Amino acid sequence: MGRTIVVTAGKGGVGKTTVTANLGALLTKLGNKVVVVDMDIGLRNLDVVMGLENRVVYNIMDVSDGKCKINQALVRDKTLPGLFLLPASQIHTKKDINIDKIVEIISIIENSFDYILLDSPAGIEKGFESASAPAKEALIVVTPDVSSVRDADRVIGILENRGILAISLIVNRYDINLVNRKKMLNADSVVDILGLDLIGMIPEDKSVIESTNKGELLVNYANGSPANKAFENISRRIEGEDVPFLNFNSQRRGIFSLFRRR
């Protein structure tokens, strides 16, 4: 029986899709069979981020409408044989979603995969509802800014009301230089406000945007990058390993930073 985890945030643009794709990849690397499901019906992106847009034939709405079998809609990743994508439909809108059907589809998938990561759309409307309905656990992605934290708080409240109580927090795009100069919310205050278990911090890293635009997963594009290291740690923590947090402060800085006033 697989673990179904919804990756959500409330606010848009915080990195839900990137986190879903890369976490899926790293969980696969650890020997799991993983399916990432794009629940952003009408605004699908996960296929592009993973570079699988040419291989999409059917999608989750086709499955829901009974036009194809689940196996026909699953797209195998280019490089990782244990990673699958269940794409969203681009021609439907969120109004067309039948939540009961989605829950049913996911519960069937659960039998043959170790992890089902649901990439939720932004917002708290029907799209979010259908993404969180099948989930038993949730990962909240926040960027360290007030609007993201506030939206996350709202989403957490809704999830808790639905009975999803296993909720962990990922702080994304964490820029230690800005934090040190007190220009960015630090991770401690985010955790303090939201009162959740912090499962990982992903540093601001150019290679994330580069890999996303190239349609490649971070493991393949920049294996040694700090962001990939952070994703790897998160996936190991999800697996139950006790991994210490990265110390961003110890990153190598240029010689000029010695003279920069803090």
Partner 1 sequence: MDKAAIFKGSKEGIVLLVNPDLDFTSIVNFLSKTLEERKLFFSGASLLLDTNDRIFSEEELKNLGSLFQKYGVSFRIKGEEKIYGTEFLNLSNLQEEKMAVVTHTMRSGQSIKFDGSVVVLGDINEGAEVNASKNVYIFGIVRGIINAGEKIISLGFQPIRMSIGRKMLEVAPSDKSYRKPRVAELENGEIVFKVIGEKKSLRRKE
Which residues contribute to the site for partner 1 (CB under 8 A)? 150-151, 153-154, 156-158, 160, 193-195
Q: Smallest Cα–Cα separation from 220: which of 56, 24, 75? A: 24
Question: Listing from the earlier edge strand, what are the strands of the sheet with 75-76?
Answer: 75-76, 83-86, 34-38, 115-119, 3-8, 137-142, 166-174, 197-203
Provide, rounded to whole angstroms, the least separation between the CB of residue 223 and partner 1: 38
Which CB atom, from 124 or from 243, has the smaller least distance to partner 1?
A: 124
Which CB atom, from 56 or from 142, has the smaller least distance to partner 1?
A: 142
Which CB atom, from 78 or from 150, has the smaller least distance to partner 1?
A: 150
Provide, rounded to whole angstroms, the least separation between the CB of residue 154 and partner 1: 4
Provide, rounded to whole angstroms, the least separation between the CB of residue 213 and partner 1: 33
Provide, rounded to whole angstroms, the least separation between the CB of residue 118 and partner 1: 21
Provide, rounded to whole angstroms, the least separation between the CB of residue 124 and partner 1: 8
Provide, rounded to whole angstroms, the least separation between the CB of residue 256 and partner 1: 33
Which CB atom, from 142 or from 238, has the smaller least distance to partner 1?
A: 142
The distance in angstroms from the start CA to the end CA of the chain is 51
Which CB atom, from 103 or from 196, has the smaller least distance to partner 1?
A: 196
For helices 226-238 and 16-29, give the axis angle rounded to 10 degrees.
70
Distances (CA, A) of 131 to 43, 63, 166: 14, 16, 16
3-state secondary structure of 9: coil
Answer whether 28's CB lies under 8 Å from 83's CB.
yes
Which CB atom, from 35 or from 140, has the smaller least distance to partner 1?
A: 140
